[in-house]
Amino acid sequence: MTRNLNLNKEDGLIVVNTGGGKGKTTAALGILLRACGYNLHGVMIQFIKGSWFYGEKESFERLAPNFELLSLGKGFVGIIDDKLPFEDHKNAAKKAVERAKIEVTNNKNDIVVLDEINYAVKGKLIRVKDVIDIIKIKNKNLDLILTGNYADSKIIALADTVTEMKEIKHAFSSGKLAKKGIDY
């Protein structure tokens, strides 16, 4: 199968999906799915999600070899069942930054998604400077998508497109549990 690398030969975009509402990762996955229709190659690096099962894992296997999912986080930091020392989460995030630097410069990818990287910054797992460094070294034609609430203003300033997801109403607020296929 012939890849049609960088169809438009345009500069890659920096896209930020942020805000307190649902759908930041889902929107990034939608872009990856659309790109698959053009036979583009991409990778999603997850900075927070770890060993929990969620539908993205199965979906990415079906989209191989065009897309790869790398869950490099150790799970959600500081939630009820998080028994890991903070330092373990921090080390995992640092390794994810190093992998991100490889993926944005290796000429293999058309799109790289750094999932929940904004949470990693907000949670002090990594520094905003780490994200800026990734943005600065990315290949010119690579599209880079950064997700997670609390996007730093410096990252927003560097972005081409920023979308803020705003929660109007969420089922969880009325006592409904997360739903398979919708929430995970």
Question: What predicted TM-score, i.e. pTM, was given to this entire model?
Answer: 0.88
Determine the Cα–Cα distance for residues 127 and 74; give it in Å rounded to an integer. 18
**C-alpha distance from residue 35 to each of 3, 45, 61, 72 (Å):** 11, 17, 16, 23
- CATH topology assigned to domain 14-168: Rossmann fold (3.40.50)
Q: What is the pLDDT along the chain (184 residues), one digit of tens a residue?
A: 444 444 455 799 999 999 999 999 999 999 999 999 999 999 999 998 766 666 777 788 888 899 999 989 877 776 666 677 879 889 999 999 999 999 999 999 999 999 999 999 999 999 999 999 999 999 999 999 999 999 999 999 999 999 999 988 878 777 888 777 777 6
The count of other CB atoms within 10 Å of the CB of residue 173 is: 8
Q: Would strands 143-147 and 14-18 be described as parallel, antiparallel, or unpaired?
A: parallel
Among the listed residues 71, 61, 67, 128, the one whose alpha carbon sits nearest the alpha carbon of residue 95: 71
Q: Where are the domains positioned within the chain?
A: 14-168
